[in-house]
Structure 1
Amino acid sequence: MQVFNTPSRIIITCNNRLTPYLINEVEALGFDIKRKFNTGLELEGTVNDCIVLNLNLRTASQVLYSIKSFDAPSPKELYDGLIEIAWEEIIDFAGYFSITSNVENEHIRTSLFANVKVKDAIVDRIRDKKEVRPNTGSSIDKTVVHLYWKENVAEIFIDTSGEVISKHGYRKLPGKAPMLEALAASTILATKWDRKSTFVNPMCGSGTLAIEAALLATDRRPGLFRMNYGFMHILGYDEQVFFEERRKLKDAVIKQVDIKIIASDISEEAIEEARQNAKTAGVDQLIDFQVCDFADTVMPEEKGVIMFNPEYGERMGIHSQLEITYKRVGDFLKQSCRGYYGYVFTGNPDLAKKIGLRASRRIEFYNGKLDCRLFEYELYDGSRREPLVETVVEPIVE
């Protein structure tokens, strides 16, 4: 089974509400999208195409390559359908594989039971053909097989990503309550920032927003920070394809940019973590790190975007103190950021009201399971102005 050159169904997953940004990324890579849904999209391609997708996508979580779809009303039919697949041509009998799953079937109370059925079928098939039993376990750093089983239909995939690609690989020091890298990239893509003008991120924490802005400005892709994917552990993998695609990423990096990106935080520890993360990402020289209260952030005269991701009382912080903080954010935006586009990402609408500004857009996101909004504020400096860049996605807005 030559999966690297055989077209099949590809499902790219993402966090809920990130699909509009993922669509733009996939289409920019030249792929035709066949179906869109709340947590991803579908296209057709080979595992070699999956290599391109894994290395380039900022907003995705997984890239799944379909092996087979079949009727499976019960665990027996699931096993029977799986044992017919030529797993000995996909998984190295001397290798290691793991099973993940998404199961909605009346016969299954726990997905772990379904995982065992998948594992048994693969092991029995390879043992029958090669007289050797491959190693299995929970680690997802080698070959990963994914089962999607809903009601009477099962579909089995190779998870070509392995570890999720929503984590971009540069953040070695996560700090407190960090924003997922794919979410951070998506929120920036939802703004009117043009990747050339000023980008300011007060309360930067471990620096994810500022770093993602610098990566966007220089066209550095996540594939530059990672050297292990699920596709590398499939039989037939040609490392030259991977290294050629990675070389393209390196060649595409914009090495000289004239841009001001500022990240400030009152915590020296947070700034040091952000600086180290930016260094790992190769963009530390592009970011001006400032240790200060957010209201003392030095705002450049060259206008652009200022973006806050303050605490919102779900995991950390005290609500009454946060009310004061949000009011101060609003005062700072009004008094010190005229001419900028202001953005505040929060999961607490009551706190957002304390900002005291009328939002021009409220863009819907989820942070984990928490319903969040990215509030946009046009901070006029005199007459109304044209946006820095036309919005290129169609996010959900209220």
Structure 2
Amino acid sequence: MQLLIKTFHGLESVLADELKELGASNIEVLKRAVSCSGDKELMYKANLHLRTALRVLMPIANFKANNDDQLYKKIYDFDWSQFINNKTTFAIDAVAFSDTFKHSKYVALKAKDAIVDQFRDKTGARPSIDTDQPNVQINIHVSSEQFTVSLDSSGESLHRRGYRDPNHKAPLNEVLAAGMLKIAGWHKDIPLLDPMCGTGTILMEAAMLACDMPPQYKRKHLGFMGWVDYDKDLWLALHKEAEEKIHYPKVNIVGGDNYPDAVDIAKQTSLDFRLNRQIRIVRSDFKENLPTAPRGMMITNPPYGERLEKGDINGFYRSIGSHLKKNFNNWQGWLITSNFEALKHFGLRTSSKHTLYNGPLECKFVSYDLFEGEMKAFKKKVNRSRRIRE
């Protein structure tokens, strides 16, 4: 079985490492996706365990079409009885990057007509459309005149872990937050601070990672559960195996924010997932947050400037850099921002820089090694300690 797993730009290699840990083979890094080979068990595990995946797709057909009639015929001639019957509900999601097929919704409509007509012609009856929770979600990707048709085994996007109200628009996607933690190399033994935590996305992803809690642990429905070959016993066995590995270690994960509503939401979220003992959240201004241990890691998503004037946001970023330089010696600081101009005013030298996307926003995820004194003296100290170890 071939699988295509979607992710955000910049997280492809992180996702590939996750798939390797799950036992996938023939792993290939693509643009905003990773392909691999595996069986049904791997597909179920991928949906349950992958922290940096958005969707797990199973490609079932590839073809070229130069016009509407060819598209209709290719879809009509495919044997859909392998996956759909008259009692099955289905929906089609299409994405088109093509001069010929310019409208994704039209592609979806044309494909829907072809599938329905095939069943009507062969059986005299037709399957129904359900756009809310179909038994089978079909994904069509169009690049120029090349079509890839897949079954979406995830259904709802995997960034939805179940710890946030779907009507609440958080500034940071859950998949992106998980990817940031992995890029930074954070693990449960490293004290973690998010001094501008908002509703707690980074904190929740860190706590779930520390506790070996699968990101879809509380998910009630996944796309493959509506398929004709759904193996309920296998899914329940994999879910039980994962549940038995969840543990609640003592960790140092702290968050702060000066918006009381955000703090209340973050606290309730951690309580709902029984992670309130792993996460400590306080209402505080950024400058009131101090190191929680001699060494640790700060990862945060500061305001990009939507609610601040240009001068204010530049000054705010400068104050963040000054606070870290003054108070967080021997810590590593990470922040993500789409405000590249404000980032220039941070006042610290970056030790690494990564390009990521938070939805449509291009962002820089940057790190700072914090230390006392000048960079030259710091490097000399590091090199001396390396020589001693060698």
Q: Check whether TM > 0.5.
A: yes
Identify the match of residue 231 of structure 1 among 224, 227, 233.
Answer: 224
Q: Any conservation in 2 of the 1:160–1:231 contact (CA below 8 Å)?
A: yes
| Runs of at least 5 residues in structure 2 that lack an aligned partner in the other structure | 384-390
Aligned-partner Cα distance in 2 for 1:178–1:241: 36
Q: Which amino acid aligns with 1:370?
A: L
Question: Could you list the runs of 4 or more consecutive aligned residues of structure 1 that deviate by over 6 angstroms after TM superposition?
Answer: none
Asked whether the 8 Å contact 2:52–2:179 carries over to 1, the reply is yes
Tell me by how many angstroms 1:279 deviates.
2.3
Contact 1:178 1:208 in 2 (8 A): no
Structure 1 residues 240-293: Cα deviation after superposition (integer angstroms, max 9, x where no partner) = 1211111122122133x1211001011111111111222233312211111111
* 2:338 counterpart of 1:338: no
1:31–1:141 distance in 2 versus 1, CA, 3 Å: same
Residue correspondence of structure 1 range 153-168 to structure 2 within 5 A: 153-168=146-161
Q: Which amino acid aligns with 1:127?
A: R
Asked if structure 1 preserves the Cα contact closer than 8 Å seen for 2:191 and 2:293, the reply is no
Native 8 Å contact 1:206 1:271 kept in 2: yes
Q: Distance in 2 between matches of 1:154 and 1:173?
A: 31
Aligned to 1:219, the other structure's residue is in SS state coil
Matched, 1:361 2:369: no
State how far apart, in whole Å, the 2-side matches of 1:139 and 1:18 are: 29
Match of 1:282 among 274, 281, 290: 274
Q: 1:179 to 1:317 in 2, by over 3 A?
A: same
Structure 1, residues 337-367: CA drift from partner, whole Å, max 9, x if none? 1111111211112211222111111121112
> Distance between the aligned counterparts of 2:219 and 2:317, measured in 1?
37
1:68 corresponds to 2:61: yes
Cross-structure match for 2:364: 373
Q: Which has the higher contact order (CA 8 A, sep 6+)?
A: 1
Q: Deviations over 1:180-230 (max 9, x none)?
A: 000011111111423212000011001001111111111111120211111
| Per-residue Cα deviation, 1:120-161 (whole angstroms, up to 9, x for no partner) | 121122233443222214335542101123333322110111
1:381 Cα shift?
5.2
TM-score (ref. length: structure 1): 0.89
- Mapping 1:238-317, distance limit 5 Å: 238-255=231-248, 257-313=249-305, 315-317=306-308
Work out whether 1:39 is the aligned partner of 2:25: no
How far residue 35 of structure 1 moved from its aligned partner, in angstroms, is 2.4
Shift of 1:298: 4.3
Q: CA separation in 2, counterparts of 1:49 and 1:129?
A: 34
Q: Which runs of 5+ in 1 are unaligned?
A: 1-6, 387-398
Write the distance in 2 (CA, Å) between the matches of 1:285 and 1:196.
Answer: 15
**Mapped partners of 2:126, 2:334: distance in 1:** 54
- Residues 342-395 of structure 1 show CA distances to partners (whole Å, capped at 9, x for unaligned) of 112111122112221111111211122222111211112586569xxxxxxxxx
3-state SS of paired residue (2:175): helix
Percent of residue pairs bearing the same amino acid type? 28
Instruction: Report the CA distance between 1:112 and its aligned residue.
Output: 1.4
Q: Which moved more, 1:320-329 or 1:203-212?
A: 320-329
Distance 1:110 1:204 in 2: 39
> What is aligned with 2:309?
318
Q: Secondary structure at the match of 2:317?
A: helix
